Structures are given as C-alpha cells and as structure tokens.
Amino acid sequence: MSLLTFFLALRTSWLVSLVVVWLGFLPFSGFGDAVQAQSIEREGLGLPLTCTLGETCWVANYVDVDPTEAARDFRCRARTYNTHDGTDFAIRDLAVMAQGVPVVASAAGIVRNVRDGVGDVGITNEAARAQIAGRNCGNGVLIEHEAGWQTQYCHLRRGSLRVKSGERVDRGSLLGLVGLSGKTEFPHVHLTLRRNREVIDPFTGQPMQAGCGLRGTSLWRVEPPVAYEEVALYNAGFAGGQPDPEAIRNGRRDEQLTATSPALVLWVAIFGVQAGDRLRFHVTDPDSTLLFEREVLLERTQAWRFAFAGTRPPPGGWPLGVYTGTVTLTRRLDGQSVERSVTRTVTIR
C-alpha cells in the first residue's frame, strides 16, 4: 500500500507553575521533644504523591539552579524554566485527576499553613492568570520540619485537603489530592524544599542559586530511587483523524476506529524535548507489515510537545485487526545515542 499522506503537528507550551511563598505563616520555634518530626537530612524525602515514577507519574520540571536568565536543572539540562523553585510531579491527564491521586507528606512535621478554595482551572491566557493573582500556588500545604526545613505542596484539588494548621503529620500522611489549581496548565503537585527560607534542590541538597553540574547528595529516600528523567513520553494513542490536544489533556481515551475511519493517526505527548532530538513514528498493520514510518528532527527545546503522524486508508478501507504503533525519541548525549519509546495498539473492528 502506498502512503498517501502524513500528518505532523508540533505544539509548544511553557508549563508554568510559579510558586510564591505564603506570607504571614506562624513563626516556627522548634519541635522540642517531638520525635515524630525527623530531620530531612537524616530521614530524607519521600515522593509527594502516590504513584509509580515513569508509569503513572513523571517529573515535568526540575528546580532552575542557574542564577542567570538561562534556565538549567542540576544536570545542566533545560528540564526546567527560569526561576522555577520546585520539582513538578505530573500525572497523565484530567481523567486520572478526577479519579483521585493522593498528595502525601514527604517527611514528618507540623502543618503551618493550608489554603483551599481555589478552582481547578488550567491557566491558558492572561485573563485566567489575573484571576489567580497572589494565589499562584493554588490550594496547598506548608509543613515545617526539624532544623529549619520546610516542604510546600502546590496545585492541590479544591476541596480535597485533609489537614489543618498546627496538625502533626508523618511521612506519607494524606494531605489532599493532585489538582489543577493556581498558576498551572496541567495536573501535578509542585514540591518546594527550603532550609532557613532558602530553596534547596532535593536532587543534590544544594541551594537553588548554586549553579548546575555540582556534586551533591540526593535527599530522596525512595525505592526504587528517584532517577533523573532526560525526557518523558508520558502519553500516546491512536486517532481517526487530526487529534485534539486539549481533548487528550482532558482525558479522552483512544476513540473507536472502524474500517471507514478517514485516517489512522499515532500521537504522542512529551515532557522535556531538546533541540536536536529525533522523533520516529512506526506503525504496523494486523499482518505485522509496516504501514508507515516517519522521522522528524525537533529543532526547538520545549517543556512540552505534542506531535502526531498518520496516513489515509487504502482503497476499500482499513483491514480489520490490531494495529501497533511505536514512537521513539532519540537524543545525543555525551557522544552517545539515548532512546525512549512508547508503544500503543488499537483494534479496528
């Protein structure tokens, strides 16, 4: 079968979840004999949400440790944006958010501030930004820990918070649910770590302004360990025509395809694209014969990218059966090629 046409769409979005420090929280005078509040250095940090990294949640942005206008994470990569002061743990889409993903305390401590009541509305324009001015963190929790440490959790779902100011919490205690409140475009929890009011990168234990490429000690205490994600192909699927990125963000699953569908399109959503990455779409038909393959060079570094490729049906329509699609991103790092792939299937009945 000859390839009649290809579709390819690339869409950008600088994922913004700027966090501001809440003013007026209660002064912290120490824990005394409270053994529940363990030191971050001694006990480390747990994940701030209940998920499996790389499967049901992904790091969307790291701390920007470059003190200049250039945004760099601790690996000197562009997996962040300028002045970003935390780590963003994203879930797949709004449908998963609606099911409820728990946000939990990364360490034991005392709740010092709580905010609820901010709507779960993605910020996509200036009017929406103006409506949440002064509440960029959205619904959130601020926890004080031993030895001057703080953790702050932002963008929780409205009405989901389960803790009160002054309450003691253990590591893993339920705080609320992942949401879309405050200055954000996608459902996630933003975790900011501070010591004596100074932002600390949990991947190195170094201050935010220290710069990239420094030696440090990770503060994460998670099994399996929290590994650095160069790039995340976190969502993919098939469509019968040009896919709608907003509908996919809202949680629309693969549509039902039939023999008369006008096209067969494979799409992918990615966190952390870098200029020079190569993206390859590969789809086989029910006989495992190559239906189409397309490779493109990605020329821009972007926090989020949506892309798709496809073909029209042969004369007589699509043969019935299972179609398999794989999207592979290839990146050159330190003279070597690194690949990340995601595979999906669709059945045409």
Q: What is the SS3 assignment for 57?
A: strand
What number is the average pLDDT over the span 25-46? Answer: 58
The pLDDT mean for the chain works out to 88
**CB-based burial label for 93 (10 Å; 0-12, 13-18, 19+):** buried
In this structure, whether the domain defined by 230-348 belongs to CATH 2.60.40.2550 is answered with yes
Measured CA to CA, the distance from residue 242 to residue 248 in angstroms comes to: 12
- Answering whether pTM is above 0.75, one says yes
Tell the burial category of 99 from Cβ atoms under 10 Å away from its Cβ (0-12, 13-18, 19+).
exposed
How much is the average pLDDT of 261-280?
A: 96
Residue with tokens 């966090």: 19
Flag whether pLDDT at 181 surpasses 90: yes
Instruction: Report the distance separating Cα 257 and Cα 128, nearest Å.
Output: 36
Q: pLDDT (tens digit, 9 = 90+) per residue, 283-301?
A: 999 999 999 999 999 999 9
CATH 2.70.70.10 domain span(s) along the chain: 40-210
3-state SS, residue 181: strand
- In the structure encoding, which two tokens stand for residue 273, read together? 């694209």
Beta strands per DSSP E along the chain: 11-12, 58-61, 87-90, 102-104, 109-115, 139-144, 149-156, 168-169, 174-177, 188-195, 198-200, 232-239, 264-273, 278-284, 290-297, 302-311, 321-333, 336-348
pLDDT higher than 50, residue 34: no
Tell me the percentage of the chain whose pLDDT exceeds 90: 77
Neighbouring C-beta atoms of residue 117, cutoff 10 Å: 11
Q: Does the structure show a pLDDT above 70 at 25?
A: no
Residue 347 and residue 321 in contact, taking contact as beta carbons nearer than 8 Å: yes
Instruction: Report pLDDT for 38.
Output: 53
With tokens 């020329």, the residue in question is 299
Dihedral angle, C-alpha 312, 317, 320, 324, nearest 10 °? -10
How much is the pLDDT for 132?
Answer: 78
Cβ contact 50:104 at 8 Å? yes
127-167: pLDDT as tens digits = 777 777 789 999 999 999 999 999 999 999 999 999 999 99
Question: Please, where in the chain does CATH 2.60.40.2550 lie?
Answer: 230-348
Average pLDDT score over residue span 101-105? 98
Whether the CB-CB separation of 232 and 59 falls below 8 Å is answered with: yes
Residue 342 — pLDDT band, cuts 50, 70, 90? very high
Report the percentage of the chain scoring pLDDT > 70: 88
Q: Answer yes or no: are the C-beta atoms of 168 and 135 closer than 8 Å.
A: no
pLDDT band, very low/low/confident/very high, at 108 (cuts 50, 70, 90): very high
Q: In whole angstroms, what is the distance from residue 179 CA to residue 115 CA?
A: 13
Look up residue 212 and give its two tokens. 């990239």
Instruction: State which fold the 40-210 domain adopts.
Output: Glucose Permease (Domain IIA) (2.70.70)
Q: Which of 177, 160, 128 is nearest to 16 (CA)?
A: 128
Residue 5 pLDDT level (bands cut at 50, 70, 90): very low
